[in-house]
A and B are shown apart, each in its own frame.
Chain A
Amino acid sequence: MDFTYTETQDMIRDTLARFLGDTYGFETRQKFIASEAGRDPGIWRAIAQDLGMLGASFAEEQGGLGGGALENAIIMEELGKVIAIEPYLSTVVIAGGALKAVGGAQADAMIPEIIAGNAIVAFAYAEPQGRYDLANLRTSAKKDGAGWVLNGHKGVVYAGPWATQLLVTARTGGNQRDREGVSLFLIDANLPGIVRRDYPTVDGNRASEIYFENAAIPADALLGGEGTGLPLIEQIVDEATVALCAEATGVMQKLHEGTLEYTQQRKQFGVPIAKFQVLQHRMVDMFMEVEQARSMTIMATLKLGLPEKERMTAVSAAKSKVARGAKFVGQNAIQTHGGIGITQELAIGHYFKRATLIEGQFGSADYHMDRYERLALAD
């Protein structure tokens, strides 16, 4: 049993933290968001090519550094600390995770492109009617000669506007909510028949509604088995959920630190408000939530490789705990700041917005409590 990081892991954290410290100040981030593209592509390129960071979680034979989920967690936490709007989650954690799981020619072709920073993948899985149910799919892929024809509507696809490829879940058989008949496809984002409506999200990211209108996709777009894709999808979503918990930990840490700092500067009744015990105890409660979020992220990261039931139990325990913690820390950070906390001027409110959206991404606290109970507390 060992809860220390390796030297390489420490180096990844330090290198990325230094780079983001230099390039990703709050004012700069706001400029990225306000720009037409909604990001600075140079940042992604630098993380890929100058830092070599996008290969951290890939095997050495694929051109990576030989890491895995822990490296993803380290990177996501650092990205969270600057509320970065980079497409690491969908490109490296999710698409990278799916490619690692299926292996073969598709992985050999695509992983080097991800590591080089050439490919950006968006994960088109959610549908307007589906809520958090990964199998609730109306999007269909119908066999057509050697390939497929895709029809349907995917909602709130993060990084959709920037994507070179889309990772799409679609039904190749069965009924709308069946576990069977679900397949996973990796396709070019700009194929004919793909229509996008792009928009900003409230946490500063960009997303798209994506419509497939008889989009013809090639046979080799299928990742994994035809109609048997759900276990793979559940696995990569679990991996993404844990990575999101890591991001949340970074966001929560900054919310807490920002509050500590502010309360020591802000004076009322002639003293810094940090002197008031009611605020001190609240900040201790926030601290305890940050620490527990970190613990749960580590717990779930280490359990990602376990058999399905243990993995899902661990991930749901982590996400429900982290989601509640993020809400608590976020809301109390704003309350403790007072009026200035509800303006756009300070970074604190922007961390709060990201924390709030993380709560619901890949399943709310309630969704994960339900899943936890089904797995761990069967009567």
Chain B
Amino acid sequence: MPEPTTFPRLLLAHADARPDAPALREKYLGIWQTWTWRETATEVREVAAGLASLGFKRGDNLAIIGDNRPQLYMAFASAQCLGGVAVPMYQDAVADEMTYVLDNAEIKFAIVEDQEQVDKLLEAREKAPVEHIIFDDPRGLRNYSAPGLQSLEALRALGRDYMAKHPSFIDAEIEKGKTTDVSVMLYTSGTTGKPKGVCQTHEAFITAAQGGVAFDHLVGTDNVLSYLPMAWVGDHLFSYAQWLVAGFTVNCPESGDTVMIDLREIGPTYYFAPPRIFEGMLTNVMIRMEDASKLKRWLFDKFMAVAKRSGAKILDGEAVSFGDRVKYALGNVFVFGPLKNTLGLSRIRVAYTAGAAIGPDLFRFYRSIGINLKQLYGQTETCAYVTLQPDRQIKFDSVGKAAPSVEVKLAENGEVLVRGPMVLKEYYKRPDATAESIDQEGYFHTGDAGVFDGDGHLKIIDRAKDVGRLANDAMFAPNYIENKLKFFSHIKEAVCFGHGKDAVMAFINIDLTAVGNWAERRNIVYSGYIDLAGKPEVYELIRECVEKCNAELATEGELAHSQIARFLVLHKELDPDDDELTRTRKVRRGFIQEKYGPLVDALFSGKQMQHIETQVKFEDGRTGSIAADIKIAEAKRFPAVTKAAA
């Protein structure tokens, strides 16, 4: 491991060693503009000196708000040159939300992208102490005359003057920086209560970045496209920490709407996206294939079958028959290659996904066409760096093994505990919260429940607080089972019950589009959602899904006890308007259990049929009620299979 260092020193090292290599790119006026490492270092120093001339001191916090722009990435380093802390904030937050963070972090200086952010800060300034607002894009700001407002250009000019007067100032400041200084403060979204500022040191992020860079052999010639919010820990690790550690090129898209076009033009070698982006890409491909000519469709289907059979195995270096290797190579020429090119993924060496569970079919699709898509696990408090999937040891339902220099263990209740240099220093001004989440031995309590499988891969199953116990004390992870069910295209939502009971029961919401299509192809006539949900054929269809899910659970050790005994198909869609889901579409299990009490009781008591009347809210705000008799079906359960037998 190289000696401990700080981000500004890493930047200067690149500027010395490879001054003319590209550090940053941004598409502007239709042309990719490049900043070399030398130019980047110069600009960072100028901005730092400019900030210093305005009174920015060691330990001050600098707010950074805007889309992914080279100037804003450089602002992180500028603050850090002076021993300051970068505080990136979500660019789509409204002024009110910003006020809390600005006030909490005592922000006096902010570097922002454009008029939109300036307007919000000027509004927030009435309640928060922001003194200096520096903007990059001057459009629309010509006639603003608020005190302390100036352009980045003007700040850099101030910086140049300052450096002319104090030529050794910046270098001396960088020299003073310690690796244990806080480098960045990332606010967690805070589902409960106010957001908390997670303080991370240079050491934490540099360790995490070095680990990841070595793990995936990232080098200076790699390219990434940075399009995820800069306030999010993942972007900070991939586009800032790893950028400065590995010295690769960070590319910023032209605008939020052009990401897919820019992706194709840049052809990144290293890529990160949450599952929904991969899902969106696949949906686009499928829609366009529907419209393609017969020959193309035939080719696609033919070769995708080969890919499904052996693509992932070839990627993992497993044994594949010679015939399939030849077919796969042909498929690469005719289908996979052009497809990857269209998606902008043809140069990908490593791609990661995280943040939510990824569907097995989705995951396998990308791997089968030869994209090395892997999963990782981490949170803001651990620099998004806890476990990684090693090459050739990929499982769709695990998040991999403990990453270099991370210690992971499970608590009594299954909660994942993490120790290592990447664990947060503290929550800003919240010693109570810090003490609550880091224990005596230095383990950070993630709040996630997990299990290790036979190969030492961590599997995240649920939020620790949601995990219950069945009557026989076996672990019951409702969210995990619900996710499994939701991966079936015919199932839109699922709610499982079983805490303190001797078996698991489930409510199912069918997906109207998918099941409706399925019904039409089979000439099943239905009048609407309620009618369709109650069809015996639909129950049969759902039973198959539930039983497949049970068969999988049977192979998963303790979770084998959580197989679904009985289920019913709900007569209405769960809806945030009826408070059954949160706005981010998470199931509110407790509320549903109460609202549909008679149905839950009927499931556990083994009845065949139950009548229910439910209040519903229509989109225009009126309420009404719908009544239905709901059938209850049994599902087959399987004997637990031990790992060796599987």
Please say whether chains A and B are actual partners in one complex: no
